[in-house]
Structure 1
Amino acid sequence: MTWPSGDSEMARRIRDHHWSATPLGPVEAWPPPLRAAIDLILPAATPIGLYWGPDFALVFNDAWRRLVGAKHEIALGRPAREVFPEIWAEIGPMLAGVLAGQGAAQVRDRRLPLDRAGRIEDAWFSFSFDPILLADGSVGGILNIATETTGRILTDRRREEAERALRDSEERLRLTVELVPAMLWWCDADGNNTAINHRWRSYTGQDRSDIQDDGWLDAIHPDDVEATRAAFAHAYATGTPVERQQRIRRTDGAYRWHLVRHVPIRGLDGAITHWFGAAIDIQDLCVLQERQQALVAELQHRTRNLLGVLRALADKIMARSTDLADFSTRFSDRLAALARVQDLLSRLAEGERVTFDELLRIELAALNGDAGRVTLDGPTGVALRSSTVQTFALALHELATNAIKYGAFSQAGGRLEIRWRVARRPEPWLHVDWRERHVAMPATPRENGSGRELIERVLPYQLGAETTYALRADGVHCTMALPVSTHRAAGGEPPMAPPG
């Protein structure tokens, strides 16, 4: 009978192999345990190899042959050390221990870099080394049952890497969601809320349980609820995004304007899988926009008033000018006064106002009036309404110009007294008394000029002022009363010093 039986490739190779040239010697001399072990492994589907004798000569089945790759062509009957030099440091001590009677050895998922196709490649195996005993009880050889776990190990590693990457990504997303200065939320395809970020909870005081079943609408301003409900219902029905401005209640009960966006997220098939929303606080921006609109409206109002005044002045000056050069001198003088006021206005910080004493000081200083002949008596820091400053400044300029050309500063003995006070009606009003003294008036009174018309007609019409203008025997006496700002309207400060 031909041994070993069977028509497998390894059965044929064992029958045809020249064993006399191997450490195992001729087949006829093999001990029964070796032959029995070979009969056992050849039909097995599990990869099994035999290491026999002190040289650990190799015999194996077809499954083990496929496990070691191209090495099988040279491995049959050869010492294991020659077949597996790249892993001998790993398996050699283990085989020696089993052969010495130290018992079986078993490992799981051991990395063994094998040369199976002309190059070293990482591979992982779970295997056991079990002793095969001879008749005298000594260990004749070792049975090696092996399973390659490379595929599972690499799959597990890829899965672990993917899970780690996913965790890292989720952590980055979580940090982004928590750090971004907006309230964020997620909903399923039907609009049922699935998550909110910390900012929603801290701003509204609502937790996830509070926002279910449209509970989140409790945080919306009552005047905005129905429009908000309708906008979101339309979005879910049509799959279109929501973008609107609405007021959301803070934990202290205050409502602040927010820009709300709620957008659908679609899968590869185009179907909506969930919704993502964000609310960004725009309260400060809304306040700034309202303030800007108010400032623009105020600027337009002031500009219209100023243009009206300039047009009236130009008409009056043109009527009284002898030629174009005379008109240019007179008109430029008024424009310079306006420029000085505009310079004051442009340097004010938000909330600040031009004060009466400051306006009076720059006007008198610009005209080089004799400070020794001026008496100034009134509180400092009386804030003027910004809308009145330009027109009021023109009136002061006309009075000061008249004093230099014809009045207190035109004659050696002339003096100018300017006194003012603040009274409440109940809002604060500034009362100004402009009086020239010791001025020799001409026998024939001068024709009413543009300055007098500005004081008697323009100030009452544009500023709601109360004015009087009289040419007395010793000089001009003018009174002006007009409402002023509440920012710093006060009295009782010591009189300011004359300009010098």
Structure 2
Amino acid sequence: MNDTTAPEKSSATRIATPQNGAQAAAFQGGGELGQRISSFDWQTSPLGDPSTWPTALTTLVELMLQSRQPMFLTWGDARTMLYNDAYAPLLGTRHPAALGQPFFDVWHDIVDVVKPIMDRAFAGESTHMDDLMLLIHRHGYPEEAHFAFSYTPVRGGSGTVTGMFCACTETTKDVFARRREVAESERLENMFALAPSFMAILRGPQHIFESTNAAYNRLIGRDDIIGRTVREALPDIAGQGFYEILDEVYETGQPFVNQDAKVTFQATEDSAPTDRYVSFIFQPIKNDEGEVTGLFIDGHDVTERMTSQGALAESETRFREMADNAPNFIWMTEPSGGCTYVNQRWLTFTGQSKSEVRGNGWLDAVHPDDLDSVRLALQQAHVDHETFEFEYRLRQEDGTYAWTLNTAQPRFTTDGTFVGLLGSGLDIDERKGFEERQALMVRELHHRVKNTLATVQAIIGFTLRTSPDMETFRTGVSNRIASLARSHSSLTDAEWQGMDLRAVLRSELEPYDNGKRLILKGPRVFLSSDTVVPLTMAVHELTTNAVKYGALSNEDGQIEVRWSVTIGPDGEHLTLDWREIGGPEVCPPTRTGFGTTLLERLLGGQLNGTATMNYPAEGVEVQIRAQLRDVPSGTKQ
């Protein structure tokens, strides 16, 4: 026993005696502590046999044992301690040895703080405190704890205080939570005040200014607008479209982004109008129910940059004339990624207009299956200020799609400021088709035979090793071969072109879904034929285990599957997270099952990926990472 715990008398040796048995029986209904008090050998205690206890003491003990609030009482000169089940967790490792012991032997580490308060109670003075901080060692180490409590003196028949009763609540978590809230609030306020961008918060449909930072006040040339509506505070921007945009964002809940917008301010009637250029976003603020309650304005004053760029206007005009006559696609973006220019070749090829292309509108011409990958790669190029190179399908004016190769280089000003990408593109559809047709037959034959045989070998070998009898072996092999057959059948129906990931998941999970049990979240991902088979087997095993032991073994459990696709130097990767919710409590397995083996061997070997399985008590969690597509030949850095 360490020096932070009161000496313990073995509760196993405290046997109820015939003398105290009648009174002890009255405590039997008081939970664990009722049993312990009943079986305690009180003859060795200053309190003596319970049959001799004063009425006040027995009444308080019975009341305390029936309460769900943490309570304890101390009695007599020794201040012998009794408590209920709700108080026991507050004692930590000092329970159950604390029962029947002097209070300050139990709480010897807080005597200096608590003794004066308890002495006042034994002197007849009640005490109530909403927050008392104590440094205690109840778990073998010092920890800060907070309590709200009341000490009430208990008087005997002669009016003399013979005991003290305490009802208390530990508030440590609440105190720490409030500290975190205050610290976070102060941190956000400091960030808001010191942010280099201009910021403002508006509330309500009238757009009342709730707060602004110094940068915003400098932009508008005044600092007396808090509590006023935008129309009242900034009448000088009327007619420039900003009121209407604010109204639209509030009504629709959709953010509005603008780059390099011109705005004219006039702080007073006597001051001259000032033209500024700003890049900004109007972001709706929503409550927990999704209702818009206000707007957040964030932006940058880009007047200096716009002024300096004016000198480049003439050279840009010459560049556009040259680009419009080029046979390839030529395009430009701004630092945030939005498209600012495409040449005539792009417009002719896609049938888009210049207004449709601006910002992210050009992405409407990208094939839906390539859209997420293109968006992610382009975004990364803008974040890293790196070269962009990507093959994707582009919609032609007649609605068909053609493969294109687009490359771009980052653009910088003379002082090193990143201003976007300058890119060009080629129509490579004919070359792409030839290459794919040339490789298709050999590649498909190789992979189909190799993957199918590897999967069947794994199924038979591991099922045989883990089956206690031939019937179990036959059933296990049959079910798993059936799952394999289903994936092959689906691929055959799709002419071995592959399958959508969502379809693979639903083929295994939908029979157990009641409309609420299945949560599938992720982008559209088209799986190649050699990816479908191992993933189908993996999902089959996970589903089977969930039905037998996990979230699908009861009526309330859910299966949540989320996935995403990333593009790295070595190609396209799928990350799939499987999570079971609401099933029986999970115990980690004592041996490696078939599902784990299949994940590790087939996924690792066939898809150049990894599989991680965790067993938290709330439900099994599995993460699968698999390579979907390699980097096209000639594009690796």
TM exceeding 0.5? no
Instruction: Give the TM bin, normalised by the shorter chain.
Output: 0.3 to 0.5
Q: Indicate the structure whose relative CO is greater, using CA pairs within 8 Å and at least 6 residues apart.
A: 1
Flag the structure with larger Rg: 1
Tell me the TM-score normalized by structure 2.
Answer: 0.36
